[in-house]
Chains A and B, each alone.
Chain A
Amino acid sequence: MLDYRVLPAGDTALVIEFGDRIDRELSTLVLSLAQALDAERIEGVVETVPTFRSLMVHYEPLVLAASSLIARIDAQVQKLGSSEILGHVWHLPVCYDPRFAIDLDEVAKRTSLSTQQVVERHSGPIYHVYMLGFLPGQAYMGEVAAELALDRLETPRTKIPAGSLAIASRMSCVFPLETPCGWHVIGRCPVPLWDPALGTSLLAPADQVRFVPVSMREYETLAARASQGVLRIEPVSEFVGAVA
């Protein structure tokens, strides 16, 4: 029997909470429920917003009463044991050159690793996209290797450039827009993650990401193509995960 709670967030949203940790199993439950509810296209459901440990369902209470929606959600949760989550696998080029990686030295110093080791540890794992938030197209990806886990900066920077790759605790993000930021910046990604004209995000919850180190020269070539709007990046494969 799955342990979950349904909590009201006012009269137009419900939170379906599976736990209070950042954890792949919880995330798989959240994302499979999101995909199941989205596929069901329930009249009166406005949108679903997955996060690390819970799913928010926005609804129109004058079309769909909270009690009816909760019954529909309960029915879907009961079926989660046999469901899968679908995503894409991406290889994202990232330049870890110190000209972009303004915190790389500091991260190396604080983790007692060389900068090369930091790059290897960061580009080694396949990351899971837990959720998008904070900025349009901004994916929270985990887990960063335990030996690279650092608290956020004591004083956040007032501005980091769009495309900055950064880490904090066990999470990594590429910031799609220029933004204030308290994370450790260790590189830059030339691929635009958010298309403001089309309103599309490259990454979606449940995707898998591997960071592929590129040289400054390769970065510049890719960035030039991106600025001309001709940089096309395709997923390398589909990803299918299952609820444990």
Chain B
Amino acid sequence: MTPALRIISPGLSTTIQDVGRSGFQRLGVSVSGALDPVSLHAANALAGNPGNTGALEALYVGPTFAIDTDDTRLAFAGADAVIEILHNADARGGEIIPTMQSVRVRRGQVIRVGSLKNGATLYIAVEGGFAVAPALGSVSTDSRGKMGGWQGRPLVEGDIIPLRRATATERDEYRIDDLDLAAPRRFRAVLGPQNDNFSDQEIERFFASEYTVSAGSNRMGMRLEGQAIRHVRGFNIVSDAIATGSIQVPGSGQPIVLLADHQTTGGYPKIATVISADLPALGRLPIGSRVSFAPITVEEAAAARRELCATVDGIAGKMVRLATPAAAVAARLLECNLISGVQDAAA
């Protein structure tokens, strides 16, 4: 039998994502890829994979799935969540682990990932990765283009996602404690490309305002609510290309930050573009968060990108061997304020 994960419940919206497919935007193909590539890299490092291996990206509510292989290694990184490991589908309670660690699981066990806390995204990597065919060099799911990932769509109940490896490597488990996933005080952005469509006053107003991430947000765009921004020459422009992180201002004046699944082209003026180094933190920001923006130069942004690359390169060095004393795990769960109500199940 093919080694696989069997999806019992997909969660709110769970897709396979790697770092995306660039190089085909001129053909109308979106880049897609992980909203938070830093956490994707962390999950892969814990699982023993190259950092850009495709993993499950869960949004807000995690999936529940069964292990259909002798044994395998999973790793969870990103938002906090209660992860329950049940001995079988009928078990009433099981072992509970936090995120930011790897765990070895075996055939028949059921992994139940709860609601995410302190973040919108959680990455679930499996050692060796998923045995899905890349589309244009990437296994990222592009739901609009119906390609990549698992059948070009978010997972649904009953999906059986094949794995590349049937067994886990013999080794210890690891955790990462000190990866800084906190949101910056202000997200840094480069002015443009259509800042000419806004007066200096409106641009100042935009950077001085605080916005709330609204419920209409998705993998295509983060919709913000707050101070409306007025255009000087109307809100329709002849379509041009879109970069990830660009902040477009439609007729309503409420900005939308374009994220991984954005269309390749569009026709609203873009006042500024969030720098690449701040996109992972933006991608993991949940609905209801408050955000504001700070203008910086392209040169400063390149320095920030260099720092982000150093952070990603340093992830493997932050891994510490998991000693597995139950008390340590419980302490970490308490710290995350996560075990109220599930203590009995864990007992």
Contact = CB atoms under 8 A, between A and B. Distances in A.
A47 B25 contact: yes
Contacts of B301: 10-11, 61
Given A47-B23, A56-B243, A62-B302, A20 B265 contact: no
Interface stretch (A83-91, A108-116, A130-138, A236-244): A130-138
Interface in A9-23: 9-13, 15, 17, 20-22
B28 A7 contact: no
A49 B29 CA distance: 11
Interface string B23-44: 1111111000000000000000
A193 B191 CA distance: 37
A160 B218 CA distance: 23
A34 B237 CA distance: 21
A133 B239 contact: yes
A132 B239 CA distance: 11
A50 B26 contact: yes
A48 interface: yes
A10 B25 contact: no
Contacts of A22: 238
Interface string A28-52: 0000001000000000001111111
Given A9-B243, A46-B22, A52-B239, A131 B192 contact: no
A133 B29 CA distance: 8
B192 A7 contact: yes
Interface in A168-194: 177
A231 B24 CA distance: 24
B22 A58 contact: yes
Contacts of B298: 8, 11, 61, 66
A233 interface: no
B321 interface: no
A138 B28 contact: yes
A199 B29 contact: yes
B212 interface: no
B238 A53 contact: yes
B156 interface: no
11 contacts: A9-B192, A10-B243, A10-B301, A15-B193, A52-B238, A52-B239, A52-B240, A54-B241, A56-B25, A56-B243, A133-B239
